[in-house]
Amino acid sequence: MSLDTHWFTETCEEGGSAFSLKISRKLHEEQSPYQRIEIFETEKFGNLMVIDGFVMLTSRDNFLYHEMMSHPALFTHPNPGRVVIIGGGDCGTLREVLRHDSIEHALQVEIDERVTRISEKFFPELCESNNDPRAEFYFGDGIQWMADAEPGSVDVVIVDSTDPIGPAKGLFTEAFYRDCFNAMGEHGVLVQQSESPLYHMRILKPMHQAMRAAGFDATASLFYPQPVYPSGWWTATMAVKGGTAHEFREQAAADKPFETLYYNRDLHRGALAMPEFFRKALEDSP
């Protein structure tokens, strides 16, 4: 939806709000076997990817999302070596994962190969680690892949998916979380993008409940800004096997040997602080 030909606008009926970006031109549009993918050049936010009418990422602010979807979970695990990314076709999360020297193997399971190929062309900076020998790509169903995974074969699962509608709806279920739990070794960590705390408690509360019902010992949501998503305030929710989600390798995070634009030890600690309305919503009976 657009205000006119110079603006791209995404409306959020649930939040009674909208967000617009001023565009210079459309760079690409195609219908893949799964979804409609559009790329715009914007005046202030670099390139913009839109899938089925919803903003996925921009060049300017994607670092917020990709860093918070990867580094907190990896520093929560005591020694992450084997990572599976479900979704994440733009490859930004994969790039962040591979900044960690402990990673031995990172598998990206993306159902739509066209998202990755389009990202290679229009977001090459996100794909700069695609040829890393530790990276592997599988284009197929992430839900089925996780159901078939060998028990104890994964340290960290990152669910970098679209909103819980259509095919992605199955990624927000107790059955899927149980498959993740079974695939993980000791101290396994699951992290999933989990929408806006201001608009989507109807999604977030059942997520926490389903993760715990699947066997995880602890859950915690991380709060961070995301200007181009509904409300501008987003979350990633972690579930931990055999531990707590509120403790992490703080010294390692402080001494990280790579550059970030947003993530650091203090932000990790602060992102775990829970707003009172959120705490109350989780504590209230269904």
SS3 135: strand
**Residues forming the active site:** 160
CA atoms of 8 and 45, how far apart (whole Å): 12
Asked if residue 260 belongs to a known ligand binding site, the reply is: no
Asked if residue 161 belongs to a known ligand binding site, the reply is: yes
Asked if residue 217 belongs to a known ligand binding site, the reply is: no
Cβ(72)–Cβ(38) below 8 Å = no
Asked if residue 144 belongs to a known ligand binding site, the reply is: no
Cβ burial 85-103 (10 Å sphere, 16+ → b, else e): bbbbbbbbbbbbbbbbeeb
Asked if residue 90 belongs to a known ligand binding site, the reply is: yes
CA atoms of 245 and 76, how far apart (whole Å): 7
Asked if residue 141 belongs to a known ligand binding site, the reply is: yes
Judge residue 193's burial from the number of C-beta atoms within 10 Å of its C-beta, 0-12 exposed, 13-18 middle, 19 or more buried: buried
Asked if residue 160 belongs to a known ligand binding site, the reply is: yes
Radius of gyration over every alpha carbon of the chain, rounded to an integer in angstroms: 18
Asked if residue 151 belongs to a known ligand binding site, the reply is: no
Asked if residue 66 belongs to a known ligand binding site, the reply is: yes
Going by C-alpha positions, the residue among 106, 179, 171, 127 that lies closest to residue 148 is 179
Asked if residue 30 belongs to a known ligand binding site, the reply is: no
CA atoms of 106 and 137, how far apart (whole Å): 9
Binding site residue list: 35, 66, 90, 110, 141-142, 160-163, 167
Binding site residue list for S-methyl-5'-thioadenosine: 35, 110, 141-142, 167
